[in-house]
Every structure is written in C-alpha cells, then in structure tokens.
Amino acid sequence: MSKEWLICGAGIMTLASALMVVLSSNAIYSAIGLLISLFGLSALYLLWGSAFLSVIQVLIYAGAIVVLFVFVVMLLDMSRVVQTGKGPGWFTTLLVTGTGWIFSLFLLRALNRGNFAGAIEHKALGSISVLSKILFREYLWPFEVLSVFLLAVVISAYCLARPESLDNSGSDGVSIKGPKGGRS
C-alpha cells in the first residue's frame, strides 16, 4: 500500500516540476524544474524495481546534461532573451498540448500491444547481469547501431553550430575560444 502512495508522490513530483519547466519565466528556475522532474522519474524507476536505470538516469541526465543546460543558461544571460515578445496564444498552447496528449495515448496503446519484454520477467530487469546479458547478446546489433547513430548526431550538431570562422566573437563581448593550438 505504501509503495503505491510513493509512486503517486513521485509521479506528482515529476509532473508538477515538469509544469514548472514550461511555465517558469526564468530559465534557471526552468532548469531546476527539469532537475526535480528527472529525480521524480528516477524515483519512479526505482519504485518499479529497476535500480540500474534509476541510477543511470541521475548519473547521465541530472549529473551531466542538466549541468550543461544550466551552464549555457548562465553563460548566455537569458534575462535579456526571455522578456522579448509575448508567449504563444491560448489556441496554440491548447493545440500543441492536445496533439501531444493524443499522440502519447497512441504511443501507450502501441507499447501495450507490442511484446517487447515478453521473455523477460519484470523482476529480473532490476539486476544488472540480466540486463547486460539481454543488451549485449540479444540486442547487441541495435545497441551498437544506436551508438553510431548518436555519434552521427553529435557530429552533425557540431557542423550546424560551428561558427564560420573560429575568431568570430559574440556580439555582447563574450567570446568563447578554445585554447590556441599547440603548446600554450
């Protein structure tokens, strides 16, 4: 009984802080909301018996990716960016949330129909040895393809974001340069 209450609490925490991400006008508070939301998700994974996934969630997302988000937000001085222009109107908001909701319902249906973890018991997924055997024996090929795909995404993101010339400093005097090549 108490476990259900904990799951409810973690779910409410996740959703409430996710709302904070969207509704907050200060980018730093959005980042904090995202952080709390990720912790809620991690707690949910833990309560569903997958300690490994829960810890990895904290390690990768909360420990590294959101730190980078906060880093960028602080570096860019978002206070000047945020106040420009109005937010989207209520119609757009409704349309986007409604579409997202319907799509998530479809996704849920599809996931329920699919027989992903048919052979795997839910309990066993919590232990790393079982998980890694499944990942590196049965799903090795998709796993490796996915990592190559992620590498391609990283390289293309770099190509898109790369400035035309490297000594092109930002307009507000903030210039981010790498160390001058060679021995410095």
Candidates 24, 47, 49, 52; binder of other proteins (CB under 8 A) is 52
Provide the 3-class DSSP secondary structure of residue 134.
helix
Q: How far is the CB of 131 from other proteins (least distance, A)?
A: 11
Q: How many CB atoms lie within 10 A of CB 58?
A: 17
Q: How far is the CB of 181 from other proteins (least distance, A)?
A: 11
The span from the CA of 160 to the CA of 163, in Å, is: 8
User: Which are the contacts of 41, defined by CB distance < 8 A and separation ≥ 6?
Assistant: 14, 57
Q: How many CB atoms lie within 10 A of CB 15?
A: 12
Residues 28/103, Cβ–Cβ less than 8 Å: no
Q: How far is the CB of 113 from other proteins (least distance, A)?
A: 32
Nearer to other proteins, 16 or 107 (CB): 16
Q: How far is the CB of 122 from other proteins (least distance, A)?
A: 17
Answer yes or no whether residue 151 interacts with other proteins by CB under 8 A.
no
Answer yes or no whether residue 64 interacts with other proteins by CB under 8 A.
yes
Answer yes or no whether residue 28 interacts with other proteins by CB under 8 A.
yes
Candidates 59, 96, 102, 105; binder of other proteins (CB under 8 A) is 59
Q: How many CB atoms lie within 10 A of CB 143?
A: 11
From 6-14, 15-23, 47-55, 165-173, span contacting other proteins (CB under 8 A): 47-55
Residues 126/50, Cβ–Cβ less than 8 Å: yes
From 11-19, 64-72, 110-118, 156-164, span contacting other proteins (CB under 8 A): 64-72
Sign of the Cα torsion 159, 163, 164, 165 reads negative
Contacts with other proteins by CB under 8 A lie at: 28, 35, 51-52, 55-56, 58-59, 62-64, 67-68, 70-71, 74-75, 127-128, 179, 184
